[in-house]
Amino acid sequence: MRDEIKTSYDAVRAQERWQQFWEQDNTFTPIDDGSKERRYVLDMFSYPSGDLHMGHAEAFAIGDVVARYWRLKGYDVMHPIGWDSFGLPAENAAIARDSHPADWTYANIETQANSYKRYGLSLDWSRRLHTSDPEYYRWTQWLFLRFYEQGLAYRKDSFVNWCPKDQTVLANEQVVNGACERCGATVTKRKLTQWYFKISDYAQRLLDDMKQIEQGWPERVLAMQRNWIGRSQGAYVDFKIEGRDEPVTVFTTRPDTLYGATFFVVAPDSDLAAELCAPAQRDAFNSYLEETKKATEIERQSTERPKTGVFLGVHAVNPVNDELIPVYAADYVLSDYGTGAIMAVPAHDQRDLDFAKTYQLPVRMVLDTGLPDPAASGVATPGDGAYVTSAALDGLTDKTAGVAKMCEWLEERGLGKAAITYRLRDWLLSRQRFWGCPIPIIHCPGCGEVPVPDDQLPVTLPDLRGAALTPKGVSPLASATEWKSVPCPRCGAPAERDADTMDTFVDSSWYFFRYCSPGYTEGPFRSEDVAKWMPTAQYVGGVEHATMHLLYARFFTKVLYDLGLVGFTEPFSRLLNQGQVINKGKAMSKSLGNGVDLGQQIDAFGVDAVRMTVVFAGPPEDDIDWADLSPASSLRFLQRVYRLAADVASAPGADFNTGDLALRQTTHRGISAMTEALDSQRFNVAVARIMELVNATRKAIDSGPGGGDPAVREAAEAITIALSLVAPYVAEEMWELLGHTPSVANARWPHPDPALLTQESVTCVVQVQGKVRAKLEVTPTVTEEELTALALADPTVQRTLADRPIRKVVVRPPKLVSIVPG
RNA sequence: GCCCAAGUGGCGGAAUGGUAUACGCGGUCGGCUCAAACCCGGCUGUCCUUAAGGACGUGGAGGUUCGACUCCUCUCUUGGGCACCA
């Protein structure tokens, strides 16, 4: 009995009922016949690490509001779902359980799929994909080969994170405080041959094309990408080195300070350092190099760390004055930025100055900035100033002019040229892991790298499980001898498959194209399908992917454009980064014990209440703290709304025009306000507007025209449709209760009637010296003169003005009168 | 160090340059009830005042304006990103 009073609708029953209905009805499969304008709403697909959690709850609730709203507005909406199902956790689980990674992966996918369905998302299940399916990764491999043909996929040697105990390469994310996250051993660097994508070729386009998405992407994401790409403008300068025929090129942003270069530094882990080192210094260099390799990432990144280095026993020649300057190897110079070598100008660069002080190297000021001499102060002066002892530059006083002049000088003599470099490095995609997409390359002793022919794709994974997946220093695939041994496709000689798999970010860089052509067998997608749906109208996902997935996806799209496969260069027109769901001020974590279980919340309050809670909590991009929220009150509200529908006594199709005018006006103003909030993605405000309309309708039923008035039906229907965006189950129940045929998702978003948006009386504010002194009820059509007279006649205004003369009156009929006394 | 974002009641948060604090949470008073829960309604920024009323109030300091949470300059704080990038 008590429960019946408490709950006027049965959430669990409604969830089961409508979930089944939507599935059988294919309510959320797009028509795709061109009769309606298409819109593509995309949620970042999930990794199947377990069941859905609070983070999914928020992100998907937001994406679903957008998808459902656009569907109601009359668009043909595609809202697909899939899984990013390759990845390391599956492999670790397989080792621990002596099973195949697929067992764990696909079991988790089923769990999540059921949860997505229960969560009431308006998803099109007919486009479902898993990146670990051979029919998907076949096309990942196909794309890799296209990149390879274009020279955009290549192999090179590089230093990578290496765990000496586990005998395996580690991704940067797996290095925690310089130690292996699995065993705690100190991670070192090891030189390995790895596959790369040449994303650096696209650095400038990744910057330039931001113009296309500036309107639709959060500024902070664009800023992060700009920062990450790190364009910097300067010059290459050639330095001759004693005993070397070819000069060594350095990159500098300050060629104008060349006269102040007093030494030269190369990255210790570069080939150049090893080559330049004089025999006498060989031992010292080798031990320094060892030390460098051992230095953990944390140590290396600390700016507090004192500068270290070793003299290489050779000298370079400063091209502007032919001075001999000593060459050092020091780890403050990075091998993979610029050319891995720098000219050091201690007076005007703090790092060079720190190094110079440690090794007692000369400091020569060539730029008078008005600040104390760096040689004495220990503080470098990197700003603008008047050039001194810089020959042709002397007399100039600003950097731009100095740089330009020096570049010109260098170019005339063939000693250097203006240049641009980027911080963006090529994308290392090799992983010595099993559960990923095999790299479709065969290594032949005679022919070298040979691509697997397209008609032999996919290169599927062999059946390895349990202990066979234990890291051994090379990919587990390398020990699958039968799988690995193949004839060379070119010459037929015995050859070997590449044993590495691809970074899972490769899989996720094109899945949104695949959704456009599910099940297509002639290619990764049909270009016509992609042209119909893309660019994606709305992408929703976490900001943690700002410089990873989102950058890679943009890169892939540009390459596909260059290949003629797609007709645009930016995949996502609009991006929304939802905030995190936290608890008691901190991110939810096992160690803090502050996790909130989504399933439990749904069991306790129902899907609708949970969805409503996260959407109403605040602006979608802000973090929301579960401790501040009240799903119980969301449920209470939903029950109140449900009773509203139950109280509607007029028949479906009743003529709204005969309804109570005041309520009708409130309803139409409410619809207008909701529409405005939704169009500007202020979903929390949209919910507040629904609540306001609910309150007004309740009053109309209880103490106004009553439930039989058609205006009450009009309001209840508008509320039901709007509510279906956040609380689809209650909305379906209400829609049915109101005598309509399901689904409410097929209803039309209500249009506010302009005639009902006007009011017969508005409040006019009267300000004196900017302070509100009176409020007048006036008709909207009141004239400026009438309003002025009314305002001046008001007793409070009179009293405030006292006998002061009036200097000025600003009138904005019908809302405001502002009086300025003299 | 560089870049980005944000600072509004006890709390989450509203506010095309025009009534600051919508909506909700919490609190409180009341109704319903034998009673409690549920539900419904009122009140709820701070200070002064018996009251009527008034003063102050959107991190801080200036400025623009008849009028500033909103625009401009400076500044403080918090959060985030990048970081020995030459």
Partners of A770 in the β-ladder = none
Burial (Cβ within 10 Å: 0-12, 13-18, ≥19) of residue A490: middle
pLDDT digits (tens, 9 = 90+) for A481-519: 999 999 999 999 999 999 999 999 999 999 999 999 999
| A822 CB and strand B closer than 7 A | no
Which single residue has its CA nearest the C1' atom of nucleotide B11? A628
pLDDT digits (tens, 9 = 90+) for A604-615: 999 999 999 999
pLDDT over threshold 60, residue A302:
no
Average of per-residue pLDDT across A744-770: 90
Tokens linked to A754: 């302009």
Tokens linked to A251: 């990159």
Q: Which residues contact A265 (CB under 8 A, 6 or more apart)?
A: A309, A327, A328, A329, A330, A332, A333, A341, A342, A344, A352, A355
Q: What's the Å distance between residue A576 CA and nucleotide B78 C1'?
A: 23
Confidence of residue A3 (pLDDT cuts 50, 70, 90): very low
Q: What's the Å distance between residue A607 CA and nucleotide B77 C1'?
A: 39
Q: What's the Å distance between residue A764 CA and nucleotide B47 C1'?
A: 28
pLDDT digits (tens, 9 = 90+) for A47-70: 999 999 999 999 999 999 999 999
Residue bearing the bigger pLDDT, A672 or A185:
A672
| A725 CB and strand B closer than 7 A | no
Q: Which nucleotides of B are covered by protein (CB under 7 A)?
A: 2-5, 11-15, 18-20, 22-26, 37-41, 53-56, 66-68, 80-86
Query: CA geometry: angle at A283 spanning A281 and A285, to 5°?
Result: 65
Identify whether the C-beta of residue A78 lies closer than 8 Å to the C-beta of residue A687.
Answer: no
Confidence of residue A369 (pLDDT cuts 50, 70, 90): confident
pLDDT over threshold 70, residue A303:
no
| A342 CB and strand B closer than 7 A | yes
Determine the 3-state secondary structure of A797 from DSSP: helix
Average of per-residue pLDDT across A354-377: 92
| A267 CB and strand B closer than 7 A | yes
Q: What's the Å distance between residue A750 CA and nucleotide B78 C1'?
A: 42
Percent residues over pLDDT 90 in chain A: 75
Looking at residue A169, its pLDDT comes to 73
Identify whether the C-beta of residue A300 lies closer than 8 Å to the C-beta of residue A275.
Answer: no
Choose among A606, A596, A578, A595: nearest CA to A118.
Answer: A606
> In whole angstroms, what is the distance from residue A714 CA to residue A723 CA?
14
Q: What's the Å distance between residue A402 CA and nucleotide B15 C1'?
A: 51
Which pTM value belongs to this model?
0.94
For residue A615, give the amino acid letter.
V
Nucleotide showing the shortest C1' distance to residue A617 CA: B12
pLDDT over threshold 70, residue A371:
yes
Q: Under the phi-then-psi rule, with left for phi > 0, alpha for psi from -120 to 50, and beta for the rest, what region is A401? A: alpha
Q: What's the Å distance between residue A734 CA and nucleotide B9 C1'?
A: 36
Nucleotide showing the shortest C1' distance to residue A628 CA: B12
Looking at residue A9, its pLDDT comes to 75
> In whole angstroms, what is the distance from residue A100 CA to residue A31 CA?
39
Nucleotide showing the shortest C1' distance to residue A339 CA: B86
Choose among A456, A409, A599: nearest CA to A15.
Answer: A599
Confidence of residue A775 (pLDDT cuts 50, 70, 90): confident
Residue bearing the bigger pLDDT, A255 or A2:
A255
> In whole angstroms, what is the distance from residue A544 CA to residue A550 CA?
9
Average of per-residue pLDDT across A741-764: 91
pLDDT over threshold 90, residue A25:
yes
Tell me which range, A24-28, A364-368, A594-598, is most confidently predicted by mean pLDDT.
A24-28
pLDDT over threshold 70, residue A754:
yes
Average of per-residue pLDDT across A649-660: 94
Looking at residue A397, its pLDDT comes to 87
Looking at residue A185, its pLDDT comes to 74
Q: What's the Å distance between residue A772 CA and nucleotide B7 C1'?
A: 26
| A549 CB and strand B closer than 7 A | no
Which single residue has its CA nearest the C1' atom of nucleotide B82? A227
> In whole angstroms, what is the distance from residue A370 CA to residue A389 CA?
16
Handedness of CA A154, A159, A161, A164 (dihedral sign): positive
Looking at residue A8, its pLDDT comes to 66
| A685 CB and strand B closer than 7 A | yes
pLDDT digits (tens, 9 = 90+) for A614-644: 999 999 999 999 999 989 999 999 999 999 9
pLDDT over threshold 80, residue A16:
yes
Q: Cβ within 7 Å of strand B: which of A 84-123? A: none
Looking at residue A295, its pLDDT comes to 67
| A761 CB and strand B closer than 7 A | no
> In whole angstroms, what is the distance from residue A264 CA to residue A258 CA?
11
| A219 CB and strand B closer than 7 A | yes
Nucleotide showing the shortest C1' distance to residue A354 CA: B84
The alpha carbon of residue A513 and the mean position of all alpha carbons in its chain are separated, in whole angstroms, by: 18
Tokens linked to A152: 């955009």
Q: What's the Å distance between residue A545 CA and nucleotide B78 C1'?
A: 23
Which has the minimum average pLDDT: A374-388, A410-424, A517-531, A613-627? Answer: A374-388
Q: What is the three-state SS of A208-226?
A: HCHHHHCCCCCHHHHHHHH
Looking at residue A4, its pLDDT comes to 37
The alpha carbon of residue A275 and the mean position of all alpha carbons in its chain are separated, in whole angstroms, by: 42
Choose among A284, A278, A283, A285: nearest CA to A243.
Answer: A278
Burial (Cβ within 10 Å: 0-12, 13-18, ≥19) of residue A176: middle
| A691 CB and strand B closer than 7 A | yes
Tokens linked to A278: 């004089």
| A481 CB and strand B closer than 7 A | no
Q: What's the Å distance between residue A701 CA and nucleotide B37 C1'?
A: 26
pLDDT over threshold 50, residue A2:
no
Nucleotide showing the shortest C1' distance to residue A230 CA: B85
Average of per-residue pLDDT across A34-54: 96
Confidence of residue A298 (pLDDT cuts 50, 70, 90): low
Which has the minimum average pLDDT: A255-269, A374-388, A644-658, A722-736? Answer: A374-388
Q: What's the Å distance between residue A622 CA and nucleotide B4 C1'?
A: 15
| A625 CB and strand B closer than 7 A | yes
Average of per-residue pLDDT across A569-592: 90
Determine the 3-state secondary structure of A684 from DSSP: helix
pLDDT over threshold 80, residue A274:
yes
Confidence of residue A1 (pLDDT cuts 50, 70, 90): very low
Looking at residue A703, its pLDDT comes to 85
Average of per-residue pLDDT across A12-20: 95
Confidence of residue A383 (pLDDT cuts 50, 70, 90): confident
Identify whether the C-beta of residue A335 lies closer than 8 Å to the C-beta of residue A342.
Answer: no
Average of per-residue pLDDT across A641-654: 92
Average of per-residue pLDDT across A458-470: 94
* ipTM surpassing 0.85: yes
Q: What's the Å distance between residue A2 CA and nucleotide B37 C1'?
A: 9
Choose among A449, A453, A450, A444: nearest CA to A496.
Answer: A444
Confidence of residue A570 (pLDDT cuts 50, 70, 90): very high
Choose among A389, A397, A418: nearest CA to A406.
Answer: A418
pLDDT digits (tens, 9 = 90+) for A215-260: 899 989 999 999 999 999 999 999 999 989 999 999 999 999 999 9
Q: What's the Å distance between residue A640 CA and nucleotide B86 C1'?
A: 65
pLDDT digits (tens, 9 = 90+) for A314-353: 999 999 999 999 999 999 999 889 999 999 999 999 999 9
> In whole angstroms, what is the distance from residue A414 CA to residue A227 CA?
32
pLDDT over threshold 50, residue A765:
yes
For residue A15, give the amino acid letter.
Q
Nucleotide showing the shortest C1' distance to residue A807 CA: B66
Identify whether the C-beta of residue A747 lies closer than 8 Å to the C-beta of residue A718.
Answer: no
Identify whether the C-beta of residue A102 lies closer than 8 Å to the C-beta of residue A469.
Answer: no
**What value does the mean pLDDT of chain A take?**
92
pLDDT over threshold 70, residue A300:
no
| A808 CB and strand B closer than 7 A | yes
| A627 CB and strand B closer than 7 A | no
CA distance to A517, A588, A649, A672, A745, per residue, from A75 (Å) = 19, 37, 32, 19, 12
Average of per-residue pLDDT across A355-381: 91
Which single residue has its CA nearest the C1' atom of nucleotide B53? A796
| A6 CB and strand B closer than 7 A | yes
> In whole angstroms, what is the distance from residue A27 CA to residue A569 CA?
32
| A637 CB and strand B closer than 7 A | yes
Choose among A71, A167, A86: nearest CA to A124.
Answer: A71
Looking at residue A181, its pLDDT comes to 64
- Per DSSP, the residues of A365-389 read --EE-SSPPHHHHS----S--EE-S
Looking at residue A7, its pLDDT comes to 44
Confidence of residue A187 (pLDDT cuts 50, 70, 90): confident
Looking at residue A296, its pLDDT comes to 57
Q: What's the Å distance between residue A4 CA and nucleotide B35 C1'?
A: 21
| A586 CB and strand B closer than 7 A | no
pLDDT digits (tens, 9 = 90+) for A136-177: 999 999 999 999 999 999 999 887 777 777 777 776 656 665
Partners of A60 in the β-ladder = none
- Kindly report the number of other CB atoms within 10 A of residue A820's CB atom: 14
Q: What's the Å distance between residue A646 CA and nucleotide B39 C1'?
A: 16
Q: What's the Å distance between residue A821 CA and nucleotide B67 C1'?
A: 14
Q: What's the Å distance between residue A661 CA and nucleotide B23 C1'?
A: 24
Q: Cβ within 7 Å of strand B: which of A 639-678? A: 640, 677
Tokens linked to A609: 């209440």
Query: CA geometry: angle at A532 spanning A133 and A744, to 5°?
Result: 85
Q: What's the Å distance between residue A712 CA and nucleotide B86 C1'?
A: 71
Q: What's the Å distance between residue A657 CA and nucleotide B83 C1'?
A: 65
Determine the 3-state secondary structure of A808 from DSSP: strand
